[in-house]
Amino acid sequence: MRWLFLLGSCWMTLAQAALPFNVQDALSKAQLPADSVAIVVQPVGGGAPLISHNAAKAMNPASVMKLVTTYAALEALTPAYRWKTEVYRNGTLNQGVLDGDLILKGYGDPALNITEFWRLLQQVQQQGIRQIKGNLVLDLSVYAPEVGQRPVLDDEPWRAYNANPSALLLNGRNTSFRFAVATTGNQPSVQLSQEFELPQIRVINTMQIRKGACNDWRSDLRYSITPQTDGVTVAFSGTLPSQCDARYLELSVLSDTQYVFLSFKKLWAQLGGQFNGQLVLAPATDANTLVMTWLSPPLDSVVRDINKWSNNVMARQLMLTMALEAGFTPADETGAALTLKQVLRQRGLQFAELVVENGSGLSRTERISAEHLAQLLVTAWQRPVMPVLMASMPILGLDGTTKKRLADSNSQGMAYLKTGSLEGVSSIAGYVQDMAGKRYVLVVIANHARASAVRKVQDALLKQLIEGR
């Protein structure tokens, strides 16, 4: 592209300049008005930016907001922070038989998956509980009830990325459906299965095979969800391209409490335990006996899952955790936003335009300017938590949400970047290293109906900054 060579010739003369005319031309070709895009390129040591365009404008950053949330959480909680899940009992325990209830109290662990839950229940049985005559009681009291009632932003409310927080969130409330082409005799068919199958999730499969490549495998896949008294029915229809290998679709088709209860019953039985009780929602009391406390992986591990794969519900759980640790009990998103802003102020980051709804970027109201996002990244670079924050970001052309970007160029591996996208929003922010070893902060945010077209401009700026051409 001609403008890249022109930009290269004047790159070092653009300190504190507005958007170069060449980039304006590229945006014009993408049919993006210049005032719909904000760009900041700045050395990590601070000082004058190489490019500063619309830098002070408050914009919706989409999932790039997770950088604000995870940085604040690392500062407030420390990378070694672990969540706990407490297990209590009431009633007497005699020779492996609990004549009472088993109680699980959640504290918002975002990383409690099926494997970890299996290990938790195994430890409960190692404490001598093999048969439960009472019920399974879930204590969700550390979160305010309304945090689980937020509307979704698209027409797919059952997608896992739209799942709401819960004080006892298991597996992200996520059922992963696996689609594969199977051949029985000479007739290919669509094989459909659940990752961690629950019998209460009943699957109807009427999908057919179509010829062709797998590039757009979702284009003709349809599903419907029908809640039942004892579970849910998920019906899949449409077609799957014949050249597809295994493909996955993550849906959240059960409530948080249903998912925990049904998973508990299955795993408890697999471990050899006995249980015929019901699900009860109630807080633990001082009269209950603590059986054990389960600890999550440390926060430095959790932020990698949040940023590498842009996990919305984990980011929202993290925001609420900051509120809980700051004394907001029960925790809610208002307290979480106040806590996050206070943490930033303590690091000299006061952003008047900052609007935080849930900290995940899955929001139409969240706002931050490109200059303040760049300031946060420059500040983080000087802080002890920098290695953890940087390592949590997708590596350009290698993993996470940037795995396929500039993967076949010399820019591969030269940037750690968080991406964000919503309808009408496309953003990218993070750290970039050039071939001479100099490091920069890059922020590009587009808010426009054609925002997705800014990706070519983002990639061009990355190549220019890294490769000098």
How would residue 194 be classed by pLDDT, with cut points 50, 70 and 90?
very high
pLDDT recorded at residue 22: 67
**Cβ atoms 319, 144 nearer than 8 A:** no
pLDDT in tens, 292-302: 999 999 999 99
pLDDT in tens, 392-403: 999 999 999 999
pLDDT in tens, 92-104: 999 999 999 999 9
Domains and CATH numbers, the chain: 2-80+300-467 (3.40.710.10), 84-152+256-297 (3.50.80.20), 175-251 (no CATH)
**Cβ atoms 175, 253 nearer than 8 A:** yes
User: Residue 416: helix, strand or coil by DSSP?
Assistant: strand
State if pTM tops 0.85: yes
Is pLDDT above 70 for 108?
Answer: yes
The identity of residue 281, as a single letter, is L
Neighbouring residues of 186: CB distance < 8 A, sequence distance ≥ 6 = none
pLDDT in tens, 160-173: 999 999 999 999 99
**Token digits of residue 9:** 């010739």
How would residue 148 be classed by pLDDT, with cut points 50, 70 and 90?
low
Q: Which of 106-129 are b and which e, b meaning 16 or more Cβ less than 10 Å from the residue's Cβ?
A: bbbbbbbbbebbbebbeebeeeeb
pLDDT in tens, 252-279: 999 999 999 999 999 999 999 999 999 9
Is pLDDT above 50 for 8?
Answer: no
| Residue of 263, 265, 294, 261 lying closest to 280 (CA atoms) | 261
- Give the relative orientation of helices 65-77 and 312-325 as an angle to the nearest 10 degrees: 40
- DSSP symbols for 298-362: PHHHHHHHHHHTT-HHHHHHHHHHHHHHTT-SSB-HHHHHHHHHHHHHHTT---TT-B-SSSSS-
Question: How far, rounded to the nearest angstrom, does the alpha carbon of residue 351 sit from its chain's CA centroid?
Answer: 24
Number of C-beta neighbours around residue 15 at 10 A: 14
> Per DSSP, which regions of 366-424 are E strands?
368-369, 415-422
- Integer Cα distance of 356 and 372 in angstroms: 14
